Structure 1
Amino acid sequence: MNTTHGLSIGIERSGEDFFLSLKAIGKLTHHDYETITPMIDSALEAVKDPHVKVLIDGTELQGWEPRAAWDDFKLGLKHGNKFDKIAIYGNKKWQEHTAKIAAWFISGEVKFFENVDDALAWLKE
């Protein structure tokens, strides 16, 4: 049984614009968020009015532990007004529903894609 889990993060910055890429693997835990949240916080706090576009690769995501789901929700509430667009790339129906729920908590747009090229093209529009 594969018990590998976690989040890998990539952050690119051009002035006030950020491009955040996240790859989620396995079933995410509270510890995964304890590791990743300070990185996102410090990247965004350094800029007065950041504009963030996010690509989330959920193709290997299996879900969240209950406390990790709460961590994810809190992260969205804390930084939700900084996100211009979030593209969720995945291959599971529940991820599409997650994208719709996420849209309630952030000021920007959230869309689900089954093709990574379509997701990137939409983010760059």
Structure 2
Amino acid sequence: MLQFIKDLPQHVVGIHATGEVTKQDMESVLLPKIDELVARQGEINYLLVLETDVQNWTAGAWWDDVKMGLKNFTKWNRIAVVSDQKGVQWFSDAFRLFVPGKSKGFAIAELNEAIAFVSAAD
């Protein structure tokens, strides 16, 4: 399930993932928020708090995630992924090599640092 995180700066989209993440979650929660952010400011600052295993994402959710990433490829500004899965943290750090913006992985205990990172002005 995906839930929108409130109480973040207006230039940041924050999503909390728990349990199973489906195509419906992507289409009703994440994609509209990303589209709205891009329309409003032309770039994406994205916080994902991942408190579920990446294997809990359905094929439809993964496909929507890939399409969103490619559609907005030049618009990624800052990405913070918060998870206690070491592989996810590593991939988030390495992802900066593939997108024009900055990407960083954080542990759940570092949520405040992740919010500061994704909220920072360049």
Query: TM-score, normalised on structure 2?
Result: 0.76
State the Cα deviation string for residues 68-92 of structure 1 (Å, max 9, x = none): 1111111111123222110111101
Unaligned runs of 5+ in 2: none
After superposition, residues 1-125 of structure 1 pair within 5 angstroms as 6-10=1-5, 12-13=9-10, 18-36=11-29, 37-45=31-39, 47=40, 50-58=42-50, 60-63=51-54, 64-100=57-93, 102-103=95-96, 105-114=98-107, 115-123=110-118, 124=120
Residue identity matched to 2:80: A
How many residue pairs get aligned? The number is 113
Give 1:98 deviation, angstroms: 3.8
Structure whose alpha-carbon radius of gyration is higher: 1
Identical counterparts, % of pairs: 27
Looking at secondary structure, tell me which structure has more strand per residue.
1
TM score, norm. by length of structure 1: 0.74
SS at match of 1:91: coil
Counterpart position of 1:3: none
SS at match of 2:104: strand
Q: Structure 1 regions of 5+ residues with no counterpart?
A: 1-5
